[in-house]
Structure 1
């Protein structure tokens, strides 16, 4: 397979999996066995493409928040987005600098997929017994920030799955409302994480051997695919539960443990 086609497929895969609650890390582990491992910079760029896709999907919502700060409801929502982001940054940066992160190898990622699948099934079941609510509380905002840190420490957890279901258990029971809040928090969070990783690559001279055409193609593929997937997901969860994603995680985690060598 050509390197160009490989880059295209990896960009598509990133766009497909970054914001679905199924773990992009687990899928990239599988893909790299056939498509070849790429540089950290390449992975940073395609992740940025997926984030840009979410920004485009929510552009009208973000514009209405930015231009409607004179309304108390909008100010309150923006402040809670800010608190969630600050919690992630203030807790997550020291964790990252301390190197508290499991390796992105088969065994920890597979177990994170399995445990995350169980977590989704249990959390959605219990959240279904709570009163229907789309109100984002301060408790939810703080919890979403902490969930993103946990997802960063345990590759394969899925940032969206960890945060969405914790928010639902804490009272934000409307799936669409929880997903929107988590995705909006994810925009500055993931851009900041990608920017930090980019600066690290720049500082260590990790940009000198890239094929910029392939990087650009993969970035574009991640943007387009991510946009389509996020739009689809927002429509899907209005009338359906996350059960299918949880079962898929369980199957993928089991497949990783059974069929891929633990050291890869």
Structure 2
């Protein structure tokens, strides 16, 4: 049974990681209806996110290789420091700092108190509305080539909010990007590139923790690895679809979905049919 649950959760992780609807919230909610009705946990979520982040690396492989090679080339004086790819390398580094600091300072809060379904339901609705507002009223003229270090840092600050289940990493970062006036594809691409070091860092740290505290991984190593592989395959399909979708459509369907899901959760919690922790 654990293997079937792992496949389901891996598919769910891959399907929701890149959409602005919060993969961690969906894994948290799914745990309520699985045999044993247990939260898969922050460790399982972080490890399976490695799979979806590998999908990002594969999808943007040429961009990533070019950015890294030029960034190191600039350090050696072989590439101009004002090269756009060199700048993007620094933007990813600068934008990652806020979530690293927050992850270290608030680790216990992230793993325990913030996983309350009351919080998840509330932020699904609130940040859904914020995303909708930013998408509608945000200017749509800035491209990825024009992104500034200030804007990159602000998007990085937005990524910190993704530590709360229900906010959504892509949702938070894209919302800030849209509010700052960036086109949807530009906001999404920077959001995905920015997530790479944060997600891999978190996933590798939780993997280490799982070795030292085996009970923290919940389903066990075998099913978790399978879930991560499934998340990679499904995530690759979803990211290709999403980048094509947002080039011609708004985020409105995701906003409506977030509000509906959050409202259903609040009703279930208020009725006592599900427990917040």
3-state secondary structure, aligned to 1:199: helix
Deviates more, 1:68-77 or 1:46-55: 68-77
Q: Deviations over 1:135-162 (max 9, x none)?
A: 211121111111111221x321111111
Structure 2 contact 140–183 (Cα < 8 Å) conserved: no
- Deviation, 1:205, is 4.3
* Alignment equivalent of 2:46, drawn from 44, 47, 60: 44
Match of 2:208 among 196, 199, 205: 199
Q: Does 1:157 align with 2:167?
A: yes
Kindly provide the CA deviation profile for residues 67-103 of structure 1, in whole angstroms up to 9, marking residues without a partner as x.
Answer: 3442511111111111101232234422336769743
Contact 2:14 2:52 (8 Å CA) reproduced? yes
CA RMSD of aligned residues (A): 2.3
Cα separation, partners in 2 of 1:213 and 1:197, compared to 1, 3 Å: closer
Match of 1:95 among 93, 98, 106: 106
Does structure 1 retain, via aligned residues, the 8 Å contact 2:170–2:192?
A: yes
Residue equivalent to 2:118:
107
Distance 1:30 1:7, change over 3 A: same
Query: Can you list the C-alpha shifts for 1:94-126, whole angstroms capped at 9, x where unaligned?
Result: 233676974312211000100011101111122
Is the 2:51–2:229 Cα contact (8 Å) retained in structure 1?
yes
Partner of 1:119: 130
Question: Is 2:243 the counterpart of 1:230?
Answer: no
Corresponding position of 2:253: 244
Q: Does 1:144 align with 2:144?
A: no
SS in 2 for 1:21: coil
Q: Out of 41-50 and 159-168, give the one that drifted further.
A: 41-50
Give the TM-score normalised by the residue count of structure 1.
0.89
Which TM-score applies when normalising by structure 2?
0.85
- The CA distance in 1 between the partners of 2:107 and 2:197, in whole Å, is 17
Note the C-alpha offset of 1:40.
4.8
**Which residues of structure 2 form unaligned runs of 5+?**
72-78
In the alignment, what sits opposite 1:219? 228
Structure 1 residue 253 displacement after superposition? 0.4
Aligned to 1:28: 27
**Aligned 8 A contact 2:41 2:218 in 1:** no
User: Aligned residues, how many?
Assistant: 259
Is the 8 Å Cα contact of residues 102 and 155 (structure 1) preserved in structure 2?
Answer: no
